[in-house]
Amino acid sequence: MSLASPGGLGPAAPGRVRVLEDRLINQIAAGEVVERPASVLKELVENAIDSGARHLRVSLRGGGRELVQVEDDGCGMDKQDAMLCVERHATSKIRAADDLAAIRTLGFRGEALPSIAAVSRFELTTRRADLGSGTAVIIDGGRLVEVREAGSPPGTRVSVRSLFFNLPARRKFLRTEATELQHCQDTLLSQVLMREELGVELFHEGRPLLRAQPGEPLLTRVEALLGPSVRGLVPVQVRSEEVPGGLVLTGLASPPDLHLASARGSLWLHVNGRTVRDPQLRRAVLDAYRGLVPRGRYPVVVLDLRIEPSQVDVNVHPAKSEVRLRDAQLVLRSITEGLREALSERGIRASAMSPPRGMRSPSLEIERVQERLPGLQPPAPPAPPAPPPAPLPRPEPSRVQPARPEPPPPDLAWDSGAGPPQPARALGLRWIGTFGEAWLVCEHEDELILVDLVQARAQRVRRAMAERPPPRPLLAPRTVELEPALAEAVGPRLPELLPLGLELEPFGGGTVCLRALSAPLAAADAPTLVRAACARLQEGLPAERIADRLARLVAESPVPLSPYEQKGLLEGLDLDEPGLALRMPAEELRRRLSRRGG
Amino acid sequence: MTFVPPAAPPQSEAELAARARLLGGRSLAELAAERRIQVPPDPRRAKGWIGLLLEQALGATAASRAQPDFPQLGIEMKTLPVDERGQPRESTYVCTAPLDGSMPRRWEDSWPCQKLARVLWVPIITPSRSEIGDRLVGTPFFWSPDPDQAELLRRDYQQLTERIDRGEVWDLDARHGEALQLRPKGAHGEDWVWALDEEGEWVQTSPRGFYLRASFTHAVIRRALLLPG
């Protein structure tokens, strides 16, 4: 029998088949384990959690492409273990094949660290609390450079620099800094969301992005990490004894009015504390919400499935993101039915289907339009909501009759966003483009929405300033001429502007010197900003009013926004702000266009 | 214009900070005129001249390059020419690199480490084709390497010195080193120093110096100051 040579290079010649070098094996393995900075982060965070850490500090640079660093205060390692852990298939977490059947730690394969070290500039510094000094292991592209004694606090710090520096082809496939950062952020969130005992900090280029204190209740933690757009999640707990060893599903789930347009950022699922992206589990959760949220929308859930380790195989995928359930049908059915029941106990049933927050239901919208427009008859009442929801009836043009003696102009049909039934946040607004360089055009479900660009920017600046970022020194101080009377009046009061983000000092005559500025104000023209702040200080306006004016000035600065930045503006935008958004339900648009067309 | 005599050495970091603060936002022509110093017409001579002007304004005393500019405070002053957006225009010279095998093995014992332990950075805003006198002094700031930066510098230093020790200095150029790099240093092409080659033979070569990459100093300034854009 002839033996085919590796790579299909023709008949094998003696000596052509070789056992690969360890370094090459690790580089190949890295192809499975290390896909991008986020996968490095995932492995490092898993190790930190498995080490019993109470606090994690994650630092990224260049979206993780330049640096992924995880510091923990876990058990640390002695020199021998530190050297061993970067060997392939070296792990402290399993010892025999039987252990695979009951894995309770997040990592176990023992291939992550050597794989990562093979494709980066890798450094591990670690110390066990009972030892006087620590150990540093430095590996460059899989080559051990140095092992030395090192000063270190108890715990471990792993720094992964210049990922794929020795594999240019792989590096080329990394995405933009923003995209990689987003992946890293999502990965970290999924790992730590439900670990209430774990303190977490995430920094990018030295700036804090995420922070959660250990010991906070899950709801507080999730809102702190995912942001105010998920406010309103309700606790759920499901127990089932049908599954051998029992099944407990705990966490938070969204009420019917909280749903997202994208699955990303909506389903945070864990099995025995391990983050999974398992399609079967996602389907089981989504099935529980069938009829509760509109089709194509996703509920927000943060859930952990606790199940006997022997009932689940996590060794299915190199990234351990999928699981194989021993009795899948039984477990999945328990999840769907149990979750639906838990929601039902909280009064959340299929009939409660609502539009997302900040988005009025089409029926409500039609009522409001009807109040304002001439010639509109109240439409037929919508069919009682039941799964699947019945489409809303379109009003008959023939029934149109004058409703008011003095009709308002037609453009009032656009709802200015006043008076929704509950506090609104824009969830999943889809950016379409800009109009007249002054409005963002976007859509959400059945609504076309125009957003005032300046006002949206001002809202963003106000929100950033509310966190009181300290002023940062300018590249060079700026002097600004004021009216002499104004300069004299506000001179002694200039320190009052410090909490508003401006560090100013008198500079002689009618001049003041701007030395430092908070970052959210940086886009504005500095002299205009200073004059406006000083003038309002002299008028005796309260700090909030001055801050509003400054935010407006920043928003009015003629800095063109890229589509990416425009989309970013829509994230978390509060559409309830008067005058911010105009909305046109598709139903209304169809009605008006067809009427004119006819 | 009032004559301002050379400043006496500052007695504390706070005093140095206060002096430096007063320079921020002023043009080099103003500072030179106050000290009755003529602005050189040739921009190629600007680098040394700017350093001397600022040393005089701040009270630096160290005539020898082997010790920090403010030896009593252990502080080195570094001017940093940047464009209007704060992007450094060039790499920053740190100190000469001995090529005769006398370089300490440990980063902590090295000249660059001592020079960079505490730095007063003085950005000089240098628009393209600007006259020397028109350039503005930016906001000066103090800096010490954070643990990450120190590790980066240490690693670069060790890799560079290992190769120098192996007689590979001729293979090293500005491409080596993430933060710290080795580059030819010498005002005149005819300057020579002795170095050991791969065979351990003494040979003459041009002097080299340690420099900080512009990307590194950009990260430093970006963290310290609010840069435009």
pLDDT along chain A (598 residues), means of 10: 35 51 59 81 91 93 94 92 77 53 53 88 92 91 90 92 87 82 90 90 88 86 83 86 86 84 80 82 85 78 88 66 77 87 74 42 32 35 37 33 35 36 51 86 87 91 87 94 90 92 90 93 91 92 90 86 81 83 87 65
Tell me, what's the pLDDT at A575?
82
Give the full edge-to-edge strand order of the sheet including A301-307: A234-240, A247-253, A301-307, A267-271, A274-276
Q: Write the residue in B155, B223, B225 that is nearest to A475 by C-beta.
A: B225
CB contact under 8 A, B226 and A515: no
User: Which residue carries 């702040």 as its tokens?
Assistant: A533
User: Which of A57, A158, A162, A475 should one mutate to test binding to chain B, selecting the residue with the greatest count of B CBs within 10 A?
Assistant: A475
- The alpha carbon of residue B6 and the mean position of all alpha carbons in its chain are separated, in whole angstroms, by 21
Closest residue of A to B155, CA-based? A138
* Distance (Å) of CA A445 to CA A79, A352, A438, A577: 58, 18, 23, 20
Residue B183 to residue A95: CA distance in whole angstroms: 52
Closest CA–CA distance from residue A472 to any residue of chain B (Å): 6
Please, are residues B10 and B19 in contact by the beta-carbon 8 Å criterion?
yes
Residues of B in contact with A515 (CB under 8 A): 24, 139
CB contact under 8 A, B25 and A478: yes
CB contact under 8 A, A474 and B82: no
Comparing A188 with B186, which gets the higher pLDDT? A188
Alpha helices in A513-585, H assignment, sequence order:
526-539, 543-556, 563-570
Please, are residues A303 and A251 in contact by the beta-carbon 8 Å criterion?
yes
Closest residue of A to B219, CA-based? A205
Closest CA–CA distance from residue A471 to any residue of chain B (Å): 9
Closest CA–CA distance from residue B20 to any residue of chain A (Å): 12
CB contact under 8 A, B226 and A123: no
Please, are residues A78 and A121 in contact by the beta-carbon 8 Å criterion?
no
Q: How many CB atoms lie within 10 A of CB A418?
A: 10
Instruction: Give helix A362-372 / helix A586-597 axis angle, nearest 10°.
Output: 50
Comparing A388 with B83, which gets the higher pLDDT? B83
Tell me, what's the pLDDT at B80?
96
Residue A376 DSSP class = -
Residues of A in contact with B85 (CB under 8 A): 475
Going by C-alpha positions, the residue among A511, A479, A365 that lies closest to residue B26 is A479
Residues of A in contact with B221 (CB under 8 A): 475
Work out how many CB contacts closer than 8 A connect A with B. Answer: 56
Tally of CA atoms within 13 A in the half-sphere of A391 that contains its CB: 6
Please, are residues A397 and A373 in contact by the beta-carbon 8 Å criterion?
no
Going by C-alpha positions, the residue among A263, A262, A266, A244 that lies closest to residue A253 is A266
* Pairing between β-strand A301-307 and β-strand A267-271 as defined by DSSP bridges: parallel
CB contact under 8 A, B139 and A473: yes
Residues of B in contact with A519 (CB under 8 A): 226
Tell me, what's the pLDDT at A471?
92
Residues of B in contact with A478 (CB under 8 A): 25
Average pLDDT of every residue of chain B = 86
Please, are residues A73 and A217 in contact by the beta-carbon 8 Å criterion?
no
CB contact under 8 A, B148 and A515: no
DSSP string, chain B: ----PPPPPPSSHHHHHHHHHHHTT-BHHHHHHHTT-PPPS-GGGHHHHHHHHHHHHHT----STTS-SBTTTTBEEEEEEE-TTS-BSS-EEEEEE--SS-S-SSGGGSHHHHHHSSEEEEEEE--TT--GGGPEE---EEE---HHHHHHHHHHHHHHHHHHHTT-GGG--TTS-SSEEEEE--SSTT--EEEE-TTS-EEEE--EEEEE-HHHHHHHHHHHSB---
pTM: 0.49
Residues of A in contact with B227 (CB under 8 A): 475
Residues of B in contact with A557 (CB under 8 A): none
CB contact under 8 A, A516 and B226: yes
DSSP string, A317-349: STT----EETTHHHHHHHHHHHHHHHHHHTT--
Please, are residues A200 and A72 in contact by the beta-carbon 8 Å criterion?
no
Residue A363 DSSP class = H
CB contact under 8 A, B228 and A162: no
User: Which residue carries 């030896």 as its tokens?
Assistant: B71
Q: Give CB contacts under 8 A, 24+ apart, made by A327-333.
A: A327/A243, A327/A244, A328/A280, A330/A242, A330/A243, A331/A243, A331/A247, A331/A305, A331/A307, A332/A280, A332/A281, A332/A283, A332/A284, A333/A284
* Non-local CB neighbours of A11 within 8 Å, separated by 6+ positions: A2, A3, A4, A5
Q: Write the residue in B125, B148, B225 that is nearest to A473 by C-beta.
A: B225
CB contact under 8 A, A476 and B24: yes
Residues of A in contact with B24 (CB under 8 A): 476-477, 515
Q: Write the residue in A67, A475, A522 that is nearest to B138 by C-beta.
A: A475
Residues of B in contact with A471 (CB under 8 A): 226
User: Which residue carries 């919400």 as its tokens?
Assistant: A289
Residues of B in contact with A123 (CB under 8 A): 151
Residue A211 to residue A202: CA distance in whole angstroms: 6
Tell me, what's the pLDDT at B184?
83
Could you tell me the fold of the domain covering B13-225? ECO RV Endonuclease; Chain A (3.40.600)
Closest CA–CA distance from residue B46 to any residue of chain A (Å): 20
User: Which of B21, B136, B146, B148 should one mutate to test binding to chain A, selecting the residue with the greatest count of A CBs within 10 A?
Assistant: B148
Comparing A363 with B172, which gets the higher pLDDT? B172
Instruction: Output the CA torsion sign for A159, A165, A170, A176.
Output: positive
Please, are residues A414 and A582 in contact by the beta-carbon 8 Å criterion?
yes
Going by C-alpha positions, the residue among A534, A453, A458, A550 that lies closest to residue A493 is A534
Tell me, what's the pLDDT at A26?
60
Residue A120 to residue A67: CA distance in whole angstroms: 10
Residue A315 DSSP class = T
Whether the link from the prior residue into A470 is cis, omega within 30° of 0, is no
Burial code (b: 16+ CB inside 10 Å, e: under 16) for A142-178 equals: beebebeebebebbbbbbbbbbbbbbeebeeebeebe
Tell me, what's the pLDDT at A156?
94
User: Which of B84, B151, B176 should one mutate to test binding to chain A, selecting the residue with the greatest count of A CBs within 10 A?
Assistant: B151
Residues of A in contact with B82 (CB under 8 A): 475
Q: ipTM value, please give it.
A: 0.87
Going by C-alpha positions, the residue among A152, A128, A126 that lies closest to residue A137 is A126
3-state secondary structure of A392: coil
Asked if pLDDT for residue B59 goes beyond 80, the answer is yes
CB contact under 8 A, A473 and B224: yes
Residue A89 to residue A25: CA distance in whole angstroms: 12
CB contact under 8 A, B224 and A476: no
CB contact under 8 A, A513 and B148: no
Instruction: Give helix A453-466 / helix A563-570 axis angle, nearest 10°.
Output: 60
Tell me, what's the pLDDT at A567?
82
Domain boundary assignment for chain B: 13-225
Q: Write the residue in A162, A206, A474 that is nearest to B226 by C-beta.
A: A474
Closest residue of A to B229, CA-based? A523
pLDDT tens-digit series, residues B36-56 = 899 988 777 777 889 989 999
CB contact under 8 A, A475 and B227: yes
CB contact under 8 A, A516 and B224: no
Going by C-alpha positions, the residue among A337, A355, A353 that lies closest to residue A345 is A337
Residues of B in contact with A58 (CB under 8 A): none
Q: Which residues of B touch A (CB under 8 A)?
A: 24-25, 82, 85-86, 123, 125, 136-139, 141, 148, 151, 155, 178, 221-228
Q: Which residues of A touch B (CB under 8 A)?
A: 59, 67, 69, 123, 138, 159, 161-162, 205-206, 471-479, 513, 515-517, 519, 522
Asked if pLDDT for residue B58 goes beyond 60, the answer is yes
CB contact under 8 A, A473 and B141: yes
Closest CA–CA distance from residue B123 to any residue of chain A (Å): 8
Return the HEC string of B87-124: CECCCEEEEEECCCCCCCCCHHHCHHHHHHCCEEEEEE
Residue A262 to residue B114: CA distance in whole angstroms: 53
Going by C-alpha positions, the residue among A469, A467, A487, A471 that lies closest to residue A479 is A487
Residue A393 to residue A334: CA distance in whole angstroms: 38
* Non-local CB neighbours of B188 within 8 Å, separated by 6+ positions: none
DSSP string, A178-226: HHHHHHHHHHHHHHHTT-TT-EEEEEETTEEEEEE-TT--HHHHHHHHH
- What's the average model confidence in pLDDT over B67-74? 88
Judged on CB neighbours under 10 Å (0-12, 13-18, 19+), A566 is: buried
Q: Give CB contacts under 8 A, 24+ apart, made by A11-15.
A: none
Return the HEC string of A286-300: HHHCECCECCCCEEC
Tell me, what's the pLDDT at A507?
87
Residue A528 to residue A506: CA distance in whole angstroms: 17
Residue A429 to residue A260: CA distance in whole angstroms: 9
Closest residue of A to B223, CA-based? A206
